Structure 1
């Protein structure tokens, strides 16, 4: 009645349908769990120093000489509440946000990928920023800025979940000390 090829095709179609429905139900369940039951992790950021310099930094990739900022900070964060049964890994980063024309600038200064719940307890003392902060205009001119801890939760199945809020610290870019 049916050939072997038709039976294999029907079986593969059934398995694919069941797999898609299972993945969709896992995705919906994890979204509901994250939306209603997840705890906001605790974090503490303390900016130790920020130094505005002129020239080409050793950190980063830029050809022209301009103002850039380097910073040192302390970070204490407990991100273990973000790890659930559907969490594959967590991309965590410190972002500096400051006003610009015509847009607000957001620059990542430090980042880490956390793959285990045991690694999700972060304690950094006098850590140096991984990346220097540049501005399109080439000058900071004492602008107000905010340093915030943000994350991207990457599940096994489902959409990426972005930051739900964490500690923020406000600071002002200091003036340029010298142009040497």
Structure 2
């Protein structure tokens, strides 16, 4: 009737089809997860604030970051990449990161990228306002 090769091919094809359906279901179910992380950042100390040779400002701060990122994790989450960036507005640009920071009000923005086991990546952020840099370099 059927040889061993035909039967092995049928079993392998069925297994791959089921695996593909499970991957689709996993990535589709992530669309229904409403992530709502919370975060707060306190600046404990400005270690140094100086201008680099290339014209950008360099700031070293000691931060106390308290964040609840548990809502970002689902059974399909492989890893989450999180970083904090300092951003400020000027008349010329709505978003700046890097130079002319003396005496500027700035926002600390916590960005995250969710990398799933299957499916597309998701990214979002929380903007925390109310921070100001010193008027002089240290």
The bucket for the TM-score relative to the shorter chain is 0.7 to 0.9
Q: Which has the larger radius of gyration?
A: 2
Measure the CA separation in 2 of the matches of 1:172 and 1:3. 76
Paired residue for 2:24?
Answer: 24
State whether structure 2 residue 51 is matched by structure 1 residue 54: yes
Task: Please list every run of 5 or more consecutive structure 2 residues that lacks an aligned counterpart in the other structure.
Answer: none
Find runs of 4+ consecutive structure 1 residues off by over 6 angstroms: none
Kept after mapping to 1: 8 A contact 2:113/2:123: yes
What CA RMSD, in Å, does the superposition of the two structures yield over aligned residues? 2.9
2:130 to 132, 146, 170: 170
Q: Do the aligned partners of residues 168 and 52 (structure 1) sit closer, same or farther apart at CA in structure 2, a change above 3 Å counting?
A: same
Give the 3-state SS of the residue equivalent to 1:77 in structure 2.
Answer: strand
Measure the CA separation in 2 of the matches of 1:66 and 1:97. 13
Q: Deviations over 1:121-166 (max 9, x none)?
A: xxxxxxxxxxxxx44xxx4354432102222222333322222x53
Task: Please list every run of 5 or more consecutive structure 1 residues that lacks an aligned counterpart in the other structure.
Answer: 57-63, 107-133
Kept after mapping to 2: 8 A contact 1:46/1:169: no
TM-score (norm. length: structure 1): 0.59
Measure the CA separation in 2 of the matches of 1:47 and 1:70. 11
Of structures 1 and 2, the one with the larger relative CO (CA 8 A, separation 6+) is 1
TM-score (norm. length: structure 2): 0.73
- Alpha-carbon deviation of 1:73? 1.9
Q: How many residues align?
A: 136
